[in-house]
């Protein structure tokens, strides 16, 4: 242990002895930030045997930093500080051993003799300022040449401390460039040091992705990673969606973070065709996806200065669901669609993810709308081959009241803020247009969606519900409504730009034989002929019935249940296939071989007194699939979960109580003149009586269900 490391440990001991652990400062301020940046991007500065040490130190620094702030006891926080100091000392030992470490003495920073050699158009320089001062601190500074600057700022240098400065350099021009490093001290002094940087000549990559169907160039989702510093590079012709995504989130760009699992999770660019670009020399990794029905490609190659490398990839289909009449869709895509250019952008993205029907939703709230569309109805659909864009709406959409709704296949937007909380008005008008309406985000239950569903379900207006989104299959709320005997189709949507990429979750609809059309797809969704997935495929039948069908078995006849789940080897293989009845697992098979790509069930059960039956799949690394149920109906009986009806009705009554509560709160604010400019509360007060009437009607409908529950008792005995 060198003298500086010894001083770090002594500092920690003094801090522990003089301060409560909750108040003790970091042993080495900024150590976690510097170690994280160095470990993630600039490990090349260390020798190979030291990189593993750095990764360990970085992980422990972050763990102990969390413990210092959130430890349950004073002793736990003190112990976290002690270990943090030890690991900070280990970090400094690693930094001191970096061959390219540059010592700087202030005042009078002297330039290093000769240029600093970077591995490519990005890299880093590590400075140790005033190495004899002790009491060390760490900081990270960045200079991005894309900003047009040539001065790197290193502020906050304490003359009484040894400061390690990691200067991150990005978009460095080719060959040799000169910059100045401004070391600014805490006492207001500035010391500039000239620095010369040199980069190797780049190489050239010519990359193309081919369709497995045609062998011709096709759009794809691409990730390019320079292994030297783990930087991700944008393909030269990658699409930018910033303007079409309406700046509605920090994710409103062309760089899409796919909510997938394992090695496929991460950032991708939508690349419309062959790309030709220069890259810094070194080892590279490319990840190429063309949606869930293609085997992704993960490959490595080496770029050599001054040379051209050609790479052509053809992601293979592991399944073609179209051949059995199943077509993929995404029910929740936000994208401005006002021009042919917008349509081309989105269509390219749709094809890159191999999603056949994208529902493009204009979004609204009480105040305004976003993601404008040039129109609705068949004349505003965009179709290329068997890929179709169809405008729809996400509106009404309330966060703290009734949840978010989606309407598909509309001919005109249905929106009236004077009736905004009367969701049935919207759903009825959409139905008159021949469209479908449902609820978003029920997989997570956010935005109080249970209230809106409770209010609308008795009217039979809910066509579908999103049970899969953001890589999360959530069925608790869905099962509650199925168990009360309501038929609701299972659906899925990415919710881009808040979601990662189109089709990261998808709903498959069985359109049958013949050419694919949007009308056939929506008809299949209306019938409930769907399953949702973010990986494995599933085929589910009860007798000959598809998901969404209703069957009436004859007395004494058993039901034959057949299900099959399969996936891409090494990526989305099924590990468990379950048959669900009334939300309970009645049969399950599990994979006993990690290389198994298929699971099957073929069983017979008694139809009992009616139920709903579905298939649920768990896949490797967290991939999931779920079907819409088949509804088994016995004469004069509802297919509900009879033993749980009273509990389920109590839940719905509690949801209605909540709605009445928000109405009372709004009226109270109105009476006290506390609404101000809050249009949500203003309209809630104005629509209070209409909403109360709907609550009363919903209670009446649930009371009728309770009467039916009582009347069925004798028949069920």
Residues 85-112 pLDDT 10s: 999 999 999 999 999 999 999 987 666 6
Tabulate helix, strand, coil % of the chain (nearest 5): 30, 30, 40
pLDDT of 346 above 60? yes
Residue pair 600/587 in contact by the 8 Å Cβ criterion: no
pLDDT of 231 above 60? yes
Residue pair 64/38 in contact by the 8 Å Cβ criterion: no
In what helix (H) or strand (E) does residue 38 lie, and over which residues does it extend?
Answer: helix 31-41
Residue pair 524/604 in contact by the 8 Å Cβ criterion: no
> For a pLDDT cut of 90, what percent of the chain falls above it?
89
Residue pair 508/326 in contact by the 8 Å Cβ criterion: yes
- What does the angle CA 347 – CA 467 – CA 598 come to, to the nearest 5 degrees? 85
Instruction: Identify the CA nearest to 508 among candidates 476, 485, 540, 486.
Output: 540
Least confident of 129-133, 280-284, 469-473, 522-526: 129-133
Query: What single DSSP character describes residue 155?
Result: E
Report the pLDDT value the prediction gives residue 596, as an integer from 0 to 100. 77
- If one compares 210 and 621, the residue with the highest pLDDT of the two is 210
pLDDT of 14 above 80? no
Q: In this structure, what are the phi and psi dihedrals at residue 166, rounded to the nearest 5 degrees?
A: -95, 110
CA 500 to mean position of chain CA atoms? 5
Residue pair 545/551 in contact by the 8 Å Cβ criterion: yes
pLDDT tens by residue, 309-323: 999 999 999 999 999
pLDDT of 8 above 80? no
Residue pair 525/509 in contact by the 8 Å Cβ criterion: yes
Give the mean pLDDT of the chain. 94
**From CA 541, how far away is CA 91, in angstroms rounded?**
59
Q: How many CA atoms lie within 13 A of 213 on its CB side?
A: 13
- 444 torsion bin: left (phi>0), alpha (psi -120 to 50), beta (else): alpha
pLDDT of 638 above 90? yes
**From CA 300, how far away is CA 312, in angstroms rounded?**
13
Q: Mean pLDDT, to the nearest integer, of 232-237?
A: 96
Report the pLDDT value the prediction gives residue 385, as an integer from 0 to 100. 96
The pair of structure tokens assigned to 14 is 């003094």
What are the extents of the domains in the chain?
3-96, 102-198, 643-716
Beta strands in 355-493 (DSSP E): 357-364, 369-370, 382-384, 387-394, 397-398, 403-408, 436-439, 464-469, 472-473, 489-492
Could you check whether the bond before residue 107 is cis, i.e. omega within 30 degrees of 0?
yes
Report the pLDDT value the prediction gives residue 332, as an integer from 0 to 100. 98
The pair of structure tokens assigned to 429 is 């008008």
Instruction: Identify the CA nearest to 133 among candidates 259, 289, 316, 7.
Output: 7
Instruction: Identify the CA nearest to 528 among candidates 536, 472, 542, 516.
Output: 542
Helix (H, G, I), strand (E, B) or coil at 309: strand
């Amino acid at each position: 242990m060198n003298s500086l490391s010894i001083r770090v440990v002594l500092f920690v001991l003094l801090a522990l002895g003089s301060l409560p652990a909750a108040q003790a400062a970091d042993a080495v301020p900024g150590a976690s930030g510097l170690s994280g940046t160095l470990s993630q991007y600039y490990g090349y500065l260390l020798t190979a045997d030291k990189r593993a040490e750095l990764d360990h130190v970085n992980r422990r620094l972050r763990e102990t930093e969390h413990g210092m702030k959130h430890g349950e006891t004073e002793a736990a926080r003190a112990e976290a500080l002690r270990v943090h100091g030890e690991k900070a000392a280990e970090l400094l030992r690693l930094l001191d051993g970096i061959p390219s470490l540059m010592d700087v003495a202030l005042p009078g920073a002297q330039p290093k003799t000769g240029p600093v050699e970077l591995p490519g158009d990005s890299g880093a320089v590590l400075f140790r300022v005033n190495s004899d001062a002790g009491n060390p601190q760490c900081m990270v500074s960045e200079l991005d040449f894309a900003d047009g600057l040539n001065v790197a700022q290193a502020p906050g240098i304490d003359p009484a401390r040894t400061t390690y400065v990691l200067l991150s350099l990005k978009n460095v021009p080719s060959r040799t460039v000169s910059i100045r490093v401004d070391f600014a001290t805490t006492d207001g002094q500035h010391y500039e040091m000239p620095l010369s940087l040199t980069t190797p000549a780049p190489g050239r990559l010519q990359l193309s992705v081919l369709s497995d169907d045609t062998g011709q160039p096709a759009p794809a989702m691409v990730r390019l990673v320079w292994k030297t510093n783990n930087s991700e590079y944008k393909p030269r012709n990658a699409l930018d969606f910033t303007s079409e995504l309406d700046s509605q989130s920090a994710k409103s760009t062309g760089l899409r973070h796919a909510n997938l699992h394992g090695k496929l999770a991460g950032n991708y660019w939508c690349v419309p065709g062959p790309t030709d670009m220069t890259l810094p020399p070194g080892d590279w990794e490319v990840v190429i996806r063309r949606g869930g029905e293609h085997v992704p490609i993960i490959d490595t190659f080496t770029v050599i200065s001054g040379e051209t490398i050609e790479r052509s990839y053809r992601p293979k289909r592991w399944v073609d669901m179209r051949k059995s009449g199943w077509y993929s869709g995404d029910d929740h895509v936000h994208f401005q669609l006002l021009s042919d250019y917008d349509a081309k952008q989105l269509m390219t993205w749709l094809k890159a993810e191999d999603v056949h029907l994208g529902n493009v939703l204009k979004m609204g709230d009480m105040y305004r709308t976003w993601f404008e569309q040039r129109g609705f109805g068949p004349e505003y659909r965009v179709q290329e081959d068997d890929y179709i864009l169809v405008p729809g709406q996400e509106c009404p959409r309330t966060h703290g009241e009734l949840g978010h709704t989606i309407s598909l296949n509309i001919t005109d937007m249905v929106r009236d803020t004077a009736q905004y909380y009367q969701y049935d008005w919207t759903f009825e008008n959409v139905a008159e247009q021949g469209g479908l309406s449902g609820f978003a985000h029920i997989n997570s239950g956010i935005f109080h969606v249970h209230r809106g569903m409770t209010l609308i379900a008795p009217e039979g207006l809910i066509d579908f519900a999103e049970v899969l989104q953001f890589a999360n299959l959530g069925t608790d709320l869905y099962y509650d409504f199925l168990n009360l005997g309501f038929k609701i189709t299972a659906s899925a949507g990415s919710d881009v730009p808040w979601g990662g990429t189109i089709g990261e979750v998808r709903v498959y609809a069985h359109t049958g034989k013949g050419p694919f059309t949007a009308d056939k797809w929506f008809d299949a969704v209306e019938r409930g002929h769907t399953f949702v997935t973010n990986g494995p495929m599933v085929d589910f039948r009860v007798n000959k019935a598809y998901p969404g069908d209703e069957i009436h078995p004859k007395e004494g006849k058993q039901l034959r249940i057949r299900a099959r789940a399969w996936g891409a080897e090494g990526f989305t293989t099924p590990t468990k296939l379950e048959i669900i009845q009334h939300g309970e697992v009645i049969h399950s098979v599990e994979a006993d071989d990690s290389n198994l790509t298929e699971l099957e069930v073929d069983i017979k059960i008694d139809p009992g007194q009616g139920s709903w039956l579905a298939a649920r799949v768990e896949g490797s690394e967290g991939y999931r699939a779920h079907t819409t149920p088949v509804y088994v109906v016995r004469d004069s009986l509802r297919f509900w979960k009879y033993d749980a009806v009273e509990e389920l009705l109590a839940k719905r009554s509690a949801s209605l109580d909540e709605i009445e509560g928000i109405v009372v709160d709004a009226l109270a604010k109105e009476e006290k003149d506390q609404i101000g400019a809050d249009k949500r509360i203003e309209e809630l007060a104005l629509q209070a009586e209409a909403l109360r009437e709907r609550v009363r009607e919903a209670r009446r409908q649930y009371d009728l269900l309770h009467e039916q529950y009582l009347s069925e008792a004798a028949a069920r005995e």
